Chain A
Amino acid sequence: MSTAEAVSVAHAAGLRGWFLRGEPGNAADLAACLAGTAAKDSPEDLARLRRYLEQRVPRRRGAQWQALYDARDLLAG
């Protein structure tokens, strides 16, 4: 993921949270926005991302990681 892509994901996550709920973006927004930017046009990348969310993320500690794990179904595609 390039810096530009990271910025784009962050921007999209924040925008989504603010537009839909009037809150800062949360982990669920991040999961929903990842597909559009990070994994666009590439099923391989999407599969890698899904694998990461499914298996590596639950092993991380911290509430945000857990929230991201719980929101993994929101990854589109």
Chain B
Amino acid sequence: MPATFLGVRHHSPACARLVAEAVEELRPAFVLVEGPADFNDRLDELLLGHELPVAVFSHYRDGQRAVSSWTPLCDYSPEWVAVSSGRAAGAEVRFIDLPAWHPAFAERTNRYADAEARYAEATARLCRHFSVDSVDALWDRLFETEDGDASGDGDGPESGSGSGSGSGDGDGAARRLEAYFDLVRGEAEADAGDRAREEYMAAWVRAALREAGERPVLVVTGGFHTPALRALAALPEPCGDSTAEDGGPGPEGGGWPGVPAPPEGALAGSFLVPYSFRRMDAFTGYQSGMPSPGYYQQVWEHGPREAADRLLRAVAERLRARSLPVSTADLIAARTQARGLAALRGHPHPTRLDVLDGLAGALVSEALDQPLPWTRRGPLAAGTHPVVAEMLAVCGGTGEGPDGGWGRTGRLHPGTPAPPLVHDVAAQLERLGLDGGEPVRLDLTDARDLERSRVLHRLRLLGVPGAVRTAGPAHGADPVFEERWEPGSRQGREAALVEAGAFGATLEDAAAAALGERAEDAGPQADRLAGILFDAVLSGAGELSERLVAVLADGVRELNDTAALGEVLATALGLWRHDRVYGVARGPMLAAVIDGAVSRVLWLVEGVRAGAGAGAPGIPPDSGTPAVAVVAAPVAAAPAAAWTSAGCAPWSPCGTPCCTPGRCRPSLRRLPRRARGGSPAIRTPPPTCAARRPAWPGCWTVPAGPSTTARPSARRATRARSATGSPACSPSPARR
């Protein structure tokens, strides 16, 4: 009996339903699922009874490259349904895809990314034909509607259908899926990685067919691969060559293809880690699967018709909880628009995008700087309209609401083996002598102690209990060089480490990823951003993660409080110029933050001049003077500092050089430089920003009001900034 191929889209509730129906109907002997074949011996682990979403986290490290990737599974993943319902129906379940470390997965961190996103030509044509903006809209329109029939000539919607029985006629949906994926695959020439995977999967299918004899075999893979698999599986057996090519040991007993083994000397492994909707939603671009996991969880549980109503309700509740005005009239308008759009687009009921468009139409009355985020793929841009951002947060299950919103965070069964982070942490603690549990006293100017401090801070950032800092530098300009850590309660330490294992395989990566997530949550709040910035410095994470740098710089650019911004800037600038202890001087993270903060301060200060009512939001007219006084000094100093890296003209806010070059330079050169042959860090406090420019604050007489004080700083700074373009100017005296 030939195999039944079911092409699915990853994380699609409609496909999950089809898989469940197919398993029910066929009662197959074998269920073959796209997933890491090296996890086959441990499928039992997957079925221990976790709270979904969970992910299979795979990591690999050899001399050349280090890779980590995730295979996320949630309640409505077709793969999960195939594994769980297949097992329940008594079938043998196998993962049949190459292991995640295989070169076929180079550059991919999400196994269940949408393959068709990489072959956009056919989908772009389909989008044009159906007049929709994105693949997601196309998919919703074709497959995620209740009767699933876009042309509307079906039996009509099955009203009142509850969970699990949403799609009208399974056959029709399956046929449409097949046609869709045939079309998408149509002319696309798969890349080498996909071809290798398809050949490997086809070898499993052939083996299963041989094994099954007359019993049915169900193959559940990404729909993009199905047409190729069907063709490949029909070919005669190529004498087991395909597996040998992949480095596997060849067919083992029973005729199953071998699982390729990682090369000698490489470290590879897979572990289950808890996952969350916000992380599923965070994959972007080529890495992304279906968006809005929170919404599709509702579709899976309550059917698409009900989910649309719930979405409208959830958005209204959330916006009202945030004190954003949503009137009854707005909601009536939103619902009317959603219905109207659904009718116009030929949907039997409002889909995700109908509701979102309706809400945007009713609730957003300002001009938007950019297209609505669901019309394209990519991360949420900075400056997205707050209402739109809240709407997406509801859909994604990424927000924290009073009731926790639609977000889900997975939890592993206690009996699950530990991820690599646990071992990495244990090894690092042992190497640094921190595993004893006695109080630690660290001298931050000592290289080894600094490393120990970083490890402890990283553990703190990951929320791993065990050590508590009782003394140490409290902010960026704090001249304290000693840290003390007391042993704390170690309860829950292992569990916290396992959970943190989803962030990365090593402590450095995991801490940087965790910090990046926190920074994204913080939004434009100065105190939280400052805390994260300082944590990044303490843990040495900022120099590792480009994402963190970008998020922090974006956050700074949206701050509205000039005084707070000035404080952030003063701290960042002090560290950027003088820090030798943590080694962040001249680092990219602080440079990005300073750049963002300076432009933002100039923008806000320029607004002060507009007078009452039109000022920058953070500066009430009567409090203009102190705010300006706070920001004046660091802003005045910042551009000069930023330019020293570009080799630009000397400049000081009072118009005269604050110190003559001849006197200044030697004393500055006496400072040890990390860059100069890695000299050990100094034991005396590095001069802080304030100490280095005693004369400057005096230059700032603040006589009358905001308008007279703000202008010179802004003007001069802007003018001086426009001088940065000249590359020939001499190094400034402040340059070190």
Contact = CB atoms under 8 A, between A and B. Distances in A.
A51 B616 CA distance: 11
Nearest to B606: A51
Interface stretch (A7-15, A16-24, A25-33, A41-49): A41-49
A3 interface: no
B273 interface: no
Interface in B293-338: none
A2 interface: no
A55 B611 contact: no
A47 B605 CA distance: 12
B726 interface: no
B614 A54 contact: no
Q: Which of A43, A54, A58 has the most CB of B within 10 A?
A: A54
Contacts of A54: 606, 714, 718
A50 B606 contact: yes
Given A54-B718, A55-B718, A58-B722, A48 B602 contact: no
Given A51-B603, A55-B602, A55-B603, A43 B610 contact: yes
Nearest to A42: B614
Contacts of A47: 606-607, 609-611, 614
B655 to A, nearest CB: 20
Nearest to A47: B610
B181 to A, nearest CB: 42
Contacts of A58: 718, 722
Nearest to B610: A47
A43 to B, nearest CB: 7
B614 A44 contact: yes
B35 to A, nearest CB: 47
A53 B472 CA distance: 46
B599 A55 contact: yes
A58 B603 CA distance: 13
Q: How large is the interface on B (under 10, 10 to 19, 20 to 34, 35 or more residues)?
A: 10 to 19
A55 B722 contact: no
B613 interface: yes
Q: Which of A44, A51, A55 has the most CB of B within 10 A?
A: A51
Given A54-B718, A55-B718, A58-B722, A43 B611 contact: yes
A63 B240 CA distance: 64
Contacts of B599: 55
Contacts of B714: 54
A44 B611 contact: yes
Interface in B592-617: 599, 602-603, 606-607, 609-611, 613-614
Contacts of B614: 44, 47-48
A75 B33 CA distance: 68
A54 B606 CA distance: 9
B695 to A, nearest CB: 28
Q: How large is the interface on A (under 10, 10 to 19, 20 to 34, 35 or more residues)?
A: under 10
A44 B607 CA distance: 9
Given A54-B718, A55-B718, A58-B722, A48 B603 contact: no
A20 B107 CA distance: 61
Nearest to B613: A44
A10 B153 CA distance: 54
Q: Which of A43, A47, A50 has the most CB of B within 10 A?
A: A47
A44 B610 contact: yes
Contacts of A55: 599, 602-603, 606, 718
A47 B609 CA distance: 7
B619 to A, nearest CB: 13
A58 B599 CA distance: 12
Contacts of B602: 55
Contacts of B722: 58
Contacts of B611: 43-44, 47
Nearest to A44: B614
A71 to B, nearest CB: 14
A54 B717 CA distance: 11
Contacts of A48: 610, 614
A11 B609 CA distance: 30
A58 B717 CA distance: 13
Interface string B700-728: 00000000000000100010001000000
B57 to A, nearest CB: 41
Contacts of A51: 603, 606-607, 610
B578 to A, nearest CB: 29
A30 B522 CA distance: 41
A34 B599 CA distance: 25
Nearest to B721: A58
Nearest to B611: A43
Interface in B609-629: 609-611, 613-614
B51 to A, nearest CB: 48
A58 to B, nearest CB: 7
Nearest to B715: A54
Nearest to A58: B722
Nearest to B603: A55
Contacts of A44: 610-611, 613-614
Q: Which of B603, B607, B614, B718 has the most CB of A within 10 A?
A: B614
A59 to B, nearest CB: 8
Contacts of B603: 51, 55
A34 B718 CA distance: 22
Contacts of A50: 606
A43 B722 CA distance: 26
A43 B707 CA distance: 13
Interface in A46-77: 47-48, 50-51, 54-55, 58
Interface in B487-527: none
A5 to B, nearest CB: 16
A51 B715 CA distance: 11
Nearest to A70: B722
Interface in B160-174: none
B605 to A, nearest CB: 10
A43 B206 CA distance: 78
Nearest to B615: A47
Interface string B387-413: 000000000000000000000000000
Contacts of B718: 54-55, 58
Contacts of B606: 47, 50-51, 54-55
A58 B381 CA distance: 22
A44 B609 CA distance: 9
A38 B611 CA distance: 19
Interface in B418-448: none
A51 B607 CA distance: 7
A73 to B, nearest CB: 11
A47 B718 CA distance: 16
Contacts of B609: 47
Nearest to A55: B603
A47 B606 CA distance: 8
B327 to A, nearest CB: 28
B598 to A, nearest CB: 11
Contacts of B607: 47, 51
Interface string B129-141: 0000000000000
A76 to B, nearest CB: 16
5 contacts: A47-B609, A47-B611, A51-B603, A51-B607, A54-B714
Given A44-B610, A51-B607, 4 more contacts: A47-B607, A51-B606, A55-B606, A55-B718
- Listed from nearest, the 6 A-B pairs whose CB atoms lie closest are A47-B610, A44-B614, A51-B606, A55-B603, A44-B610, A47-B609
